[in-house]
Amino acid sequence: MNYTRKLESKAFVGYIRISPSKVRRILDQIRNVSCEEAFIILKFMPYKACPIISKVLYSAVSNAKQQFGAKSHSLYIIEARADDGPVLKRFCPHAQGRGFPIKKRMSHITSTI
């Protein structure tokens, strides 16, 4: 049998205090795009998660260069995902003595090149 080894490089950051849904809308824009193009897209997007995602992406590119000696212009984003992390539960006072729950969500961001 002929097995081909896929050269994949991963980077992960966890427990980021931003909602996964807000991160996913940005990751949808850069999935299956070259890394150079993804950095340009992230640079000009006005969202809070963009610098965090670009750091994760830069780490994955550095891992690929270190492990396989890959050139940065030949790298593509295979997988980019944001998973749910723990939720901080808070309560805000509401009308008639009720407590209104507030969920402060966290996310784990994974990038595969």
Q: What is the pLDDT of residues 59-92, one digit of tens each?
A: 999 999 999 888 888 899 999 999 999 999 999 9
CATH of residue 62's domain is: 3.90.470.10
* Assigned domain for 4 exists: no
- How far apart are alpha carbons 68 and 7 in whole angstroms? 7
How far is CA 66 from each of CA 36, 53, 60, rounded to the nearest angstrom? 17, 20, 10
Average pLDDT over residues 15-35: 95
Token pair belonging to 23: 């991160």
- Which residues form the domain of 20? 10-112
Establish if 81 belongs to a structural domain. yes
* 3 located within any domain: no
Q: Answer whether 104's CB lies under 8 Å from 20's CB.
A: no
- pLDDT > 90 fraction of the chain, expressed in percent and rounded: 86
pTM: 0.88
H or E element in which residue 80 lies:
strand 79-93
- Classify residue 101: in a domain, yes or no: yes
Mean pLDDT score across all residues of the chain = 92
Question: How many domains does the chain divide into?
Answer: 1
pLDDT of residue 88: 97
Q: What is the pLDDT of residue 70?
A: 86
Domain contains 65: yes
**Domain assignment of residue 74, yes or no:** yes
Q: What was the pLDDT predicted at 3?
A: 52
Cα separation, 25 vs 6, whole angstroms? 28
User: Does position 6 have pLDDT exceeding 80, yes or no?
Assistant: no
* Mean pLDDT of the 16-30 span: 96
Residue 5 lies in a domain: no
Residue 18 lies in a domain: yes
DSSP 30-49: HTTSBHHHHHHHHHT---TT
